[in-house]
Amino acid sequence: MDRQGAVPAAAPAIIDTDPGIDDAVALALAARAPEIALVAVTTTYGNAPLPVTTRNARYVLALAGRRDIPVIPGSAAPLTRAFDGNPVRHGPEGLGHAIPPMPVAPEDVADPGALLLTLATLPPARRVILITLGPLTNLAHALRADPVAVRARVAVHVAVMGTFTRTGDAALPDFNVDADPDAVELVLASGLPTRLVPLDISSQVRIPERDIRRSRGSPDPLERMLGEALAYPGGADRAVHDAVAVAGALAPDVLDFVPRRLKIGEPGGRAHGALTGDPGGYRVEVATAVRVRAVRRLLGRVLAQPA
């Protein structure tokens, strides 16, 4: 990587995800991208239960013509706490109005060690971009089991999480942190080179309703499915948070990052489930600006663009 975080052409990547509408857009973009080689997808609970998110990931990859990419189910629940689910924003099947014809595979069993096992299958000298789009439980399990191996195999970790105020001095809770703050704490404390794409940045990239309608009428089955997903619940302009993180891996100049130190808000406090600035906190890099037009051009590979 260069000083701006550039990655070489066809850099190997693993996506850890909980599809999820914007996860589906991100996964589709990565599957069709020549800039990275998507070597595997691990799944987690989050926008739907684990069997559903695993099925959804396979469905997106099948429509993208990438059945060759393995999808490995990971964690079904947070490290230490109960999880109530997040069905409202993404619909009962996790993909909005898109209903996958693929059944949920009964043989898919949760394996919290899925990410570590996936990293272990790579050649010893091969380091990957790890992009996490949901709760960090799978990565936390991997770091608990073998932090040396994880650090040896992961060149950079890109995570979608955090929602910062304009001053950058405080934060609000977001789903990926609040789902498993124990996992977030473990990952940030690990020293893994982590880059955060916070929601106040990613929310600037929105798919207009007119483009969603055009995608729903596309002859491309993948684009048509994404249009159906993005139309949920009412077809209004939709932010594609997770796709911004993938776009940043494809074209690193679309995001600007600055170093920051962050901590996780104390349970029960006003900042519970949030990342906040703290001079003694964990060092990460945080995206502070996004080039919206550049990201939209990349999204044109899988979604309709303005006429």
Given a cut of 50, is residue 1 above it in pLDDT?
A: no
Supply the pLDDT for residue 92: 85
CA gap 154, 194 in Å, rounded: 10
What is the pLDDT averaged over residues 138-157? 97
Cite the active site residues: 241
Q: What is the DSSP string of 57-101?
A: HHHHHHHTT-TTS-EEE--SS-SSS-----HHHH-TTSSTT---S
**Which two three-digit tokens encode residue 168?**
């950058």
Q: What integer best gives the mean pLDDT of the chain?
A: 90
The DSSP symbol for 103 reads: P
Q: Are 13 and 55 in contact (CB under 8 A)?
A: no
Supply the pLDDT for residue 178: 87
Q: What is the DSSP string of 159-189?
A: EE--EE-TTSS-EE--HHHHH-HHHHHHHHH
Before 20, cis peptide (omega within 30)? yes
Tell me: the pLDDT tens digits for 259-289?
999 998 776 666 667 888 899 999 999 999 9
Tell me: the pLDDT tens digits for 193-207?
999 999 999 999 999
CB atoms within 10 A of CB 233: 11
Assign 195 to helix, strand or coil.
strand
Q: Give CA angle at 149 (144, 150), nearest 5°.
A: 65
The DSSP symbol for 289 reads: E
CA gap 57, 25 in Å, rounded: 11
Assign 30 to helix, strand or coil.
helix
CA gap 167, 262 in Å, rounded: 14
**Which two three-digit tokens encode residue 291?**
């080039």
Largest Cα span, the chain:
53
Given a cut of 70, is residue 251 above it in pLDDT?
A: yes
- Percent pLDDT > 70 in the chain is 89
Given a cut of 50, is residue 71 above it in pLDDT?
A: yes
Q: At what angle do helices 21-31 and 292-299 cross, to 10 degrees?
A: 70
Given a cut of 70, is residue 306 above it in pLDDT?
A: no
Handedness of CA 186, 15, 172, 5 (dihedral sign): positive
CA gap 250, 89 in Å, rounded: 27
Supply the pLDDT for residue 21: 95
Q: Are 273 and 181 in contact (CB under 8 A)?
A: yes
Please count the CA atoms within 13 angstroms of the CA of 47 that sit on its side-chain side: 25
Residue in this structure with the two tokens 């299958």, named with its chain if needed:
121
Given a cut of 80, is residue 307 above it in pLDDT?
A: no
What is the pLDDT confidence band of residue 2, given thresholds at 50, 70 and 90? very low
Element (H, E) at 149: helix 147-153
Supply the pLDDT for residue 234: 73
CA gap 167, 83 in Å, rounded: 32
What is the pLDDT averaged over residues 226-254? 93
Highest mean pLDDT pick, 176-190, 231-245, 264-278:
176-190
- Set out the domains of the chain in order of their start, with CATH numbers: 11-299 (3.90.245.10)
- Percent pLDDT > 90 in the chain is 76
Q: Which of 3-7, 150-154, 215-219 has the lowest mean pLDDT?
A: 3-7
The amino acid at residue 126 is R
Supply the pLDDT for residue 3: 44
Given a cut of 90, is residue 153 above it in pLDDT?
A: yes
Element (H, E) at 247: helix 241-250
Q: Are 226 and 28 in contact (CB under 8 A)?
A: yes
Q: Are 12 and 129 in contact (CB under 8 A)?
A: yes
